[in-house]
Structure 1
């Protein structure tokens, strides 16, 4: 899942992840709030505060897009089957990756940012504006669908730990 994250940056070694967390999200729009709460709690535990607002906005947009465009219409989920959307948060010392997996094979389509009065269609423009990098790729192997990810560079404090989250 991490191979395409090398765009213009030094390689990310999956074994060097200092923290990782993920949560399954149900196929309903309340999942966007659940994803933000999960992100807030996780970033608080990891003491990441310098990009908190940007990360939460991007997570909201990625999850909304997955629910709106990545799920087949009216497809019931079999009992015991994992929810179709999953949020992954992975942290390295100076980087954070938010990745949202959904079952669709369709590429995300960024609309032109010209019409700010439109009620929808600005999600990927916002992701592009607030994240340091983003992209997507199809999943292979036993996983079906795609993952859309956003990368954030984190500022480290001279004393060592990352800047604490302020309430």
Structure 2
């Protein structure tokens, strides 16, 4: 069952941080994507819906396909810019996919898969990955989208 964690009692930069714990179920990425769109709509960030859903889909699908356990989607403000949206996926495998950093090997255009990270790089304003040290274990892959042209409802200037 998926759970939602509302933002803390002190106001975070918009849109707050939500974390969805997902079981290893083939329906989980779609459920998480629907929840992502609901959060964006609630905070007035619906214009980022398509891009954020694409980024989340690629990261969630990789977590589902390449790990055996549960995984989580986090949605929150960008690390350096509150007008960006950060989509992050945690899973229990500490191995970061080859090329997820700044140097990505070429993709086989005839292959049925293997182009997800290229899509992340093409549509994200920034992206990254890191293995989590013990005792947390696993890894976090993240991508950010949005920018100065996006002003969520409830922020100065909206």
TM-score of the two chains, using structure 1 as the length reference: 0.72
Alignment partner of 1:57 is 2:54: yes
Which residue pairs with 1:3 in the alignment?
none
CA distance in 1, matches of 2:87, 2:123: 12
CA offset at residue 37 of structure 1? 0.5
**Shift in Å at residue 51 of structure 1?**
2.3
**Counterpart in 1 of 2:72?**
86
Matches within 5 A, 1:27-38: 27-38=24-35
Q: Does 1:106 align with 2:91?
A: no
- Counterpart for residue 109 of structure 2: 116
Q: How far off is 1:52 after superposition?
A: 1.7
2:130 maps to 137
Pairing 1:156–2:146 present: no
Unaligned 5+ runs, structure 1: 1-14, 73-82, 162-167
- Secondary structure, aligned partner of 1:33: helix
Structure 2 unaligned blocks of 5 or more: 1-10
Partners in 1 of 2:31 and 2:87 — Cα distance?
Answer: 15
TM score, norm. by length of structure 2: 0.76
**Alpha-carbon separation, structure 2, partners of 1:46 and 1:120:** 33
